[in-house]
């Protein structure tokens, strides 16, 4: 085959609401959440070329993520190759990272969804949209949202999605630069707190914010300074719909973003 390349734009998402319903037998939690993609993007440059054996090679501009088989992008490419019986192909993916990691913004999930979407385009749409969604659901909880984009009601682990009427909103973000919170940590703390004390949970739009805020001074600073701000996902990013965040030392701030009615997409080259 001739070498072929696509560039994929991969949007971040925020949780406008997030309620934890119960714990599942598989160890995950059932949630109900309204999620929304925003115009903060990672970019993937995906190239396929002939090779004596299948290879997946990752690199990128960030020193904070691994470029090996532990990266969700690698796992997505491997899953695509296995499901489509791809042989003798080298897949090279350059990850331009702009979305903070471990931030509740689905940076890893959107890149994985973008990988599946981009590879499907390069291989002439071997998979239907429904089949792509099935692979997304195998890899994680937010990939289906990032694949479809817009404003979505989500259930299950987050993989069951239903489109809602799109609203154009201004989005402002703030995150402690040195604090990342994994989904595992947030849900573990939710389970523990939910067993020992449920007071105050009803005051939070996001149940996971209620679960983790008392453990981190940096989160309490955001909430005290900006009382109407809401944590997205498992944190540590907060968003505001009505007021910009000021610049604070040791905090990453991104004001005046917009909601968008789409998910991952191919950029014309």
pLDDT digits (tens, 9 = 90+) for 186-214: 999 999 998 887 788 999 999 999 999 99
Q: Could you read off the pLDDT of 143-181 as tens digits, one per residue?
A: 999 999 999 999 998 999 999 999 999 999 999 999 999
Vertex 87: Cα angle to 86 and 91 (nearest 5): 75
The confidence score (pLDDT) of residue 198 equals 72
The confidence score (pLDDT) of residue 145 equals 98
The confidence score (pLDDT) of residue 179 equals 96
Percent above pLDDT 90 for the chain: 90
Question: The domain containing residue 238 runs over which residues?
Answer: 1-269
Active-site amino acid positions: 13, 142
73-88: b or e for each residue (b if 16 or more CB lie within 10 Å)? Answer: bbbbbebbbebeebee
User: Could you give the count of Cα atoms lying within 13 Å of 251 in the half-sphere of its Cβ?
Assistant: 20
The gap between the terminal CA atoms of the chain, to the nearest Å, is: 20
Token digits for 92? Answer: 């090279």
- Position 12 confidence tier, pLDDT thresholds 50, 70, 90: very high
Q: How many domains does the chain have?
A: 1
Write the CA distances from 241 to 148, 171, 180, 187, integer angstroms.
22, 5, 22, 25
Residues facing residue 251 across a β-bridge: 176
The confidence score (pLDDT) of residue 114 equals 98
Mean pLDDT of 214-235: 97
The confidence score (pLDDT) of residue 252 equals 98
Q: Provide the CATH number for the domain around residue 127.
A: 3.30.230.10
What's this model's pTM, rounded to 2 decimal places? Answer: 0.96
Mean pLDDT of 120-127: 97
* CA distance linking residue 257 with residue 237, whole number of Å: 14
The confidence score (pLDDT) of residue 195 equals 84
The confidence score (pLDDT) of residue 22 equals 87
Percent above pLDDT 70 for the chain: 100
- The 8-class DSSP code of residue 255 comes to E
Q: Is the pLDDT of residue 249 over 80?
A: yes
Mean pLDDT of 76-92: 97
Mean pLDDT of 25-40: 93
Mean pLDDT of 234-260: 97
Strands 55-60 and 89-96: parallel
- Position 269 confidence tier, pLDDT thresholds 50, 70, 90: low
* CA distance linking residue 14 with residue 185, whole number of Å: 19
């Amino acid at each position: 085959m001739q070498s072929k390349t696509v560039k994929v734009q991969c949007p971040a998402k925020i949780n406008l609401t997030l309620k934890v319903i119960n714990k599942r037998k598989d160890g995950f939690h059932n949630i109900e959440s309204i999620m929304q993609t925003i115009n903060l993007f990672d970019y993937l440059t995906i190239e396929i070329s002939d090779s004596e054996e299948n290879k997946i090679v990752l690199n990128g501009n960030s020193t904070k993520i691994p470029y090996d088989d532990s990266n969700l992008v690698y796992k997505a490419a491997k899953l695509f190759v296995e499901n489509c019986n791809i042989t003798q192909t080298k897949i090279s993916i350059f990850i331009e990272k702009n979305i903070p990691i471990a931030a509740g913004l689905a940076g890893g999930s959107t890149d994985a969804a973008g990988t599946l979407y981009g590879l499907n385009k390069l291989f002439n749409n071997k998979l239907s949209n429904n089949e792509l969604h099935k692979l997304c659901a195998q890899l994680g909880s937010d990939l289906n949202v990032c694949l479809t984009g817009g404003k979505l009601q989500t259930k299950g682990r987050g993989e069951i999605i239903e489109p809602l009427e799109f609203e154009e909103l201004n989005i402002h973000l703030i995150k402690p630069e040195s604090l990342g919170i994994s989904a595992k940590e947030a849900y573990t703390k939710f389970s523990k707190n939910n067993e020992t004390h449920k007071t105050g949970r009803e005051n939070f739009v996001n149940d996971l914010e209620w679960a983790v805020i008392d453990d981190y001074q940096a989160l309490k600073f955001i909430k005290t300074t900006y009382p109407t701000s809401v944590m997205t996902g498992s944190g540590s990013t907060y968003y505001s719909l009505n007021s910009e965040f000021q610049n604070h030392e040791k905090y990453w701030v991104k004001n005046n973003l917009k909601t968008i009615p789409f998910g991952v997409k191919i950029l014309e080259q």
